[in-house]
Amino acid sequence: MNKKLHWIGLILLLISYSFNLKSQIISGPMVGYVEHRTAKIWVEVKYDSKVSLKYWQQNLNSSAQIAFPTHNKQFNFHTIIFDCVNMNPGSIYEFEIYYSNKPSGIRGKFKTQELWKWRKAAPDFSFLTGSCAYLNEPEFDRPTPYGGDTSIFNSMAKENSEFMLWLGDNWYTREVDYGSQWGLWYRASRDRSLPSIQNFTNSIPQVAIWDDHDYGPNNEGVSYIFKNETREVFSAFWANPTYGLDQKGVYSKASYYDVDIFLMDNRTWRSSDDMISYIDEKPNPDKKMFGNEQLNWLKNALLNSHATFKIIATGSPMLNRMNKFDCFVNYPIEHQELLRFLELHNIKGVLFITGDRHHNEIIEEKRVNKYSLYDLTLSPLTSGVYKLPNEELANPALVNGSVYQEQNYTRISVLGKTKDRKLKIEYMDKTGTPRFSWEINESQLK
């Protein structure tokens, strides 16, 4: 009998120990940007937890390496971004979280990008994208909750895609959040920790841009008094390749096979939406969205890109001239400058992917003797839906059938042989059922 009690006690002790290890993890682990030989893995832990991460190539456990941690601490919040390095391209890796040098049982895996260039055709792949994820918190929400059904994340977790690209409003700061530094950290931490979203964020790699609601107050920009703090929050909760240059902004570039994604920051340098766009019928030079520094970076990055498709991702719609709200066309000095640059330098393969407006649409801007530019606005994931007025539904620039006014995410597939690549765009409802499909070949963007 004593022997039996001894074994019961030992089992209970092991269960308690395992629970204690796992209780150190608040959110994650979430895989961020994955490159050929490196990868980033994010986790939020209890403050000052002694957490580490080991990774190894699948079926080669004896080759385990210790990842390099970057700690982000503020108030009672503590996130870690682990850099996994010195890996083999095109290989599956496994990892495990350790607490005080002891395994926690919390594991995950990812695949490094293949080294394909100069060796073979670019692989086919797909990625997911979308914007506007409002996760209800009743005591701080509007009287009528703005967030909807979160089951969409379960559908997204079942997708066999390379990564997820978040297009902004990835969480929604409320009045109780954006008036303080602590509130900004709280909102990101609270929403990331919810099981409804972790089921997805822990399933495939994630990269992100921001828009106003995960930046701060509605429509805020350069004047936001906590813009330095909110940049720290963003870089603490996403494992992107980089976060701006010279410690300014959060713009960056992510490359996946023959696609370059330019991750734009539409908030750090943004003038007020209410600033006059034209003075004496001329564009107001003071009204900016991206700012001189970032726009100069984008121009040079586009010139240096040899990708088949060059996707410019930003939180604000870019080309809809009938959009009276948040749109790049209302910042005419930069709008004209960017489109003129694309025309003068004959930049091939450019496509805009944007968020914000709580419906899906594809806008085509036709150009004389140049290929049409397209702006894919993709939203919302869980937030309220915006019903377009009749005048916008009659917009001649709308691609036929592209308006979708329900909660959704988008799957973008990159397919085809060399010099005949195409993008397949599919709107997916919250059950993962396709609702609209549209394709464009690389030859149409030359």
What tens-digit pLDDT sequence spans the chain (446 residues)? 465 555 545 444 344 444 466 789 999 999 999 999 999 999 999 999 999 999 999 999 989 999 999 999 999 999 999 999 999 999 999 999 999 999 999 999 999 999 999 999 999 999 999 999 999 999 999 888 899 999 999 999 999 999 999 999 999 999 999 999 999 999 999 999 999 999 999 999 999 999 999 999 999 999 999 999 999 999 999 999 999 999 999 999 999 999 999 999 999 999 999 999 999 999 999 999 999 999 999 999 999 999 999 999 999 999 999 988 899 999 999 999 999 999 999 999 999 999 999 999 999 999 999 999 999 999 999 999 999 999 999 999 999 999 999 999 999 999 999 999 999 999 999 999 999 999 999 999 99
Cis (ω within 30 of 0) for the bond into 145? no
Q: What is the DSSP letter of 270?
A: P
pTM of the complete model: 0.95
Inter-residue contact 122 to 419 (CB < 8 Å): no
The residues, any chain, with a CB within 8 Å of residue 319's CB and separated by 6 or more, are 327, 328, 329, 352, 363, 365, 373, 374, 375, 397
Chain-centroid distance, C-alpha 26: 21
Which segments of the chain belong to CATH 2.60.40.380? 26-111
At residue 20, the pLDDT reads 63
The amino acid present at 416, given as its one-letter code, is G
Tokens of 258: 């023959």
| Phi, psi for residue 122 in degrees, rounded to 5 | -60, 135
Instruction: Indicate the residue type of 86.
Output: N
Question: Are residues 70 and 80 in contact, defined by beta-carbon separation less than 8 angstroms?
Answer: yes
CATH architecture for segment(s) 125-445: 4-Layer Sandwich (3.60)
**Residue 3, pLDDT score:** 57
Distances (CA, A) of 389 to 9, 303, 323, 366: 67, 38, 11, 23
Angle, vertex CA 373, rays to CA 372 and CA 376, nearest 5: 130
Q: In the structure encoding, which two tokens stand for residue 59, read together?
A: 């079926």
Q: What share of the chain is helix, strand, coil (3-state, %, to 5)?
A: 25, 30, 45
Alpha carbon distance 251, 322 (integer Å): 27
- Closest-CA residue to 211 (of 246, 250, 243): 250
Checking DSSP bridges between strand 92-99 and strand 51-57, what pairing results, if any?
Answer: antiparallel
Cα–Cα distances in angstroms (integers) from residue 164 to residues 30, 32, 233, 339, in the given order: 11, 9, 19, 28
**Concatenated DSSP letters for 52-94?**
EEEEEETT-GGG-EEPEEEEEEETTEEEEEEEE-S--TT-EEE
Asked if residue 205 has a cis previous peptide bond (ω within 30° of 0), the answer is: no
SS3 252: strand
**Among the listed residues 91, 92, 89, the one whose alpha carbon sits nearest the alpha carbon of residue 115:** 89
Coil, helix or strand for 278?
strand
* pLDDT attached to residue 145: 85
Helices (H) and strands (E) in the chain, counts: 9, 22
CA dist., res. 153 & res. 202, Å (int): 11
User: Judging by beta carbons within 10 Å of its beta carbon (0-12, 13-18, 19+), is residue 162 exposed, middle or buried?
Assistant: buried
Highest CATH level, class, for 26-111: mainly beta
Alpha-carbon 394 to chain mean position: 31
**Sheet strands side by side (includes 39-45):** 25-34, 39-45, 77-84, 68-74
Q: How far is CA 441 from CA 216, 351, 421, 425, in A?
A: 38, 12, 6, 11
Q: Using H for helix, E for strand and C for coil, what is the string for 279-324?
A: ECCEECCCCCCCHHHHHHHHHHHHHHCCCCEEEEEECCCCCCCCCC
User: Closest Cα to residue 92, out of 145, 39, 142, 134?
Assistant: 39
Q: From CA 59, how far away is CA 47, in angstroms rounded?
A: 33
HSE-up of 289 (CA within 13 Å, CB side)? 26
Residue limits of CATH 3.60.21.70 in the chain? 125-445
What six digits make up the tokens of 197? 């979203």
> Which residues, listed in sequence order, are joined to residue 262 by a DSSP beta bridge?
253, 312
Cβ burial of 302 (10 Å; 0-12, 13-18, 19+) is: buried
